[in-house]
Amino acid sequence: MKASPDSSIIDSIGRWPFPALHEHKSENDWFEISKDHADQLIGAVPPIYIPGGFMVGEAQTIDRRGVSVYTAIIHIGYRYFARDLPIDQKREARNLAMEAIGSRGKRKACRNDAGA
């Protein structure tokens, strides 16, 4: 699976990324989050470790195929990215994030006003 040319990185640094991340309709976008938020998420419930990061260890939903969807957190350099991702794509998560970063022509602001 390749990142779409329509992939965007949504700036959520300084804002808690939820519920905006779960409500986001594009399957190609990643939310850039702070290290502090990544640290909070890894400590929330036991994580599922994946190449380049982890998945929050509690499924958020299931997709139309019946596959559990988790929030994936990927660490690239000094940056952190989050996206809901089906568990069967866990090995591809880092590559998907890197492709989105490389192909991003757009950077969007997070619309979540919930605060940090």
pLDDT in tens, 38-75: 999 999 899 999 999 999 999 999 999 999 999 999 99
The rounded distance, in Å, linking the Cα atoms of 79 and 51 is 15
pLDDT category of residue 100 using cuts at 50, 70 and 90: confident
Structural contact between residues 34 and 13, judged by C-beta atoms closer than 8 angstroms: yes
Q: What stretch of H or E contains 67?
A: none
53 SS3 class: strand
